[in-house]
Amino acid sequence: MRIDIIAGARPNFMKIAPIIDAIRIRQLDGSKLSFRLVHTGQHYDKAMSGRFFEELNIPDPDINLEVGSGTQAEQTGNIMVRYEKLLMESPCDLCLVVGDVTSTMACSIAAKKLNIKVAHVEGGIRSFDLTMPEEINRMVTDSITDYFFTTSEVANQNLIKEGVDPKAIFFVGNTMIDTLLKNQSRFSQPSLWKDLSLKEKEYFIITLHRPSNVDEVNQLQKLLSEITLSAQQLPIIFPVHPRTRKTLLSANLSWSNLFCVDPLGYLEFNYLVKHAKAVITDSGGVTEETTVLGVPCMTLRTSTERPETVTMGTNELLGIDPSAIRPAMQKVFEGNWKRGIIPEKWDGQTAGRIVTALEKVLSV
């Protein structure tokens, strides 16, 4: 039985790494489950893709569809055409997609239309904000998914409300946290630590890449001005996503305590997260990692598809109005940020549960 494992963009790589490890371990015990790794090419810079394969010991993709960048429809269409062609030449028994990026949705549609079963890792999460492409990707993918691997009870309930058969839902936990816990002892201090004389809990780290925050120069400028002002002179490290880099370059923005760097590798990025005073982000994955690492996290979004990071974890939703930043930063400086607990099954064992379920549904 061969499954296709699909990955296309940065957060996918952390999610597939432990699944591949778990399959390989099971193969040593005689499992007949095998996989083909398909990279769509949605992200292609070394800093957004290749480096994670090296760091997380992910094998080279068997196939790279090399779709590159484009509008939502261009990317979706190109991935579908290329993945469909691959499947027609060389089919698989099940298509396993992760997360909520365009590659997730496009490959699930192409597979399902060829009557291939679809499994969705991180199924069922919803922000209910249809202005974000990811929410459409989630809804479309889940509407044609056969097996849902979920990260939370809220996700299970979302699926049940949408009429999904509970037998198709496998509450397994969070593969991104498998990767975090497995690699925690390997987190590595980046060279900028010494260059900038950083000290534990005396700097901030920020990541921003949502179109609503970074595509328009005025909004990005207002957010960064407010963050730099409220940081009380502490350094702010900003690994800049390529989408954000375009806007920053177009306006030549800079602040004395803001240090813009290229996107960091996983081990260096999470070293900085672990030791930061707090994180400011609009990433989904980063809110999960800060929850498990117990680091205060401020999210510059109006909604989240990961509510457990707020109700249980260390994350607070600030919205995208810059005026919310100063009071939140004040709370961090006063030491009044909530502590949080770790959500159920975010225990480093999720990928093993997924592989057990796959063996069962595929009868291998």
Active site residue ranges: 209
Residue among 124, 190, 239, 348 that touches ligand UDP (CB under 6 A)? 239
Residue among 57, 69, 143, 254 that touches ligand UD1 (CB under 6 A)? 69
Residues 141 and 123: their CA atoms lie apart, in Å, by 8
What is the nearest approach in angstroms of ligand UDP to the Cβ of residue 13?
Answer: 8
The item of ligand UD1, ligand UDP, none sharing an interface with residue 43, based on CB under 5 to 8 Å by kind, is ligand UD1
Residues 179 and 267: their CA atoms lie apart, in Å, by 11
134 binds ligand UD1 (CB under 6 A): yes
289 binds ligand UDP (CB under 6 A): yes
Residue among 13, 44, 53, 203 that touches ligand UD1 (CB under 6 A)? 44
The item of ligand UD1, ligand UDP, none sharing an interface with residue 14, based on CB under 5 to 8 Å by kind, is ligand UDP
Q: At 70, list the tokens.
A: 């484009």
The item of ligand UD1, ligand UDP, none sharing an interface with residue 45, based on CB under 5 to 8 Å by kind, is ligand UD1
The total of other beta-carbon atoms located within 10 Å of residue 168's CB is 14
What is the nearest approach in angstroms of ligand UDP to the Cβ of residue 54?
Answer: 12
Residue among 124, 173, 235, 285 that touches ligand UDP (CB under 6 A)? 285
Footprint on residues 212-271 left by ligand UD1 (CB under 6 A): 241-243
10 binds ligand UD1 (CB under 6 A): yes
Residues 360 and 260: their CA atoms lie apart, in Å, by 47
Start-to-end CA distance of the chain, whole Å, equals 7
Q: Are 180 and 212 in contact (CB under 8 A)?
A: no
What is the nearest approach in angstroms of ligand UDP to the Cβ of residue 288?
Answer: 8
CA-closest candidate to residue 53, choices 200, 235, 207, 266: 266
Q: Are 67 and 79 in contact (CB under 8 A)?
A: yes
The packing angle between helices 350-361 and 175-183, to 10°, is: 140
Number of residues that bind ligand UD1 (CB under 6 A): 18
CA-to-CA separations, 313 to 41, 63, 232, 324, in angstroms, rounded = 33, 37, 25, 19
Residue among 6, 8, 10, 247 that touches ligand UDP (CB under 6 A)? 10
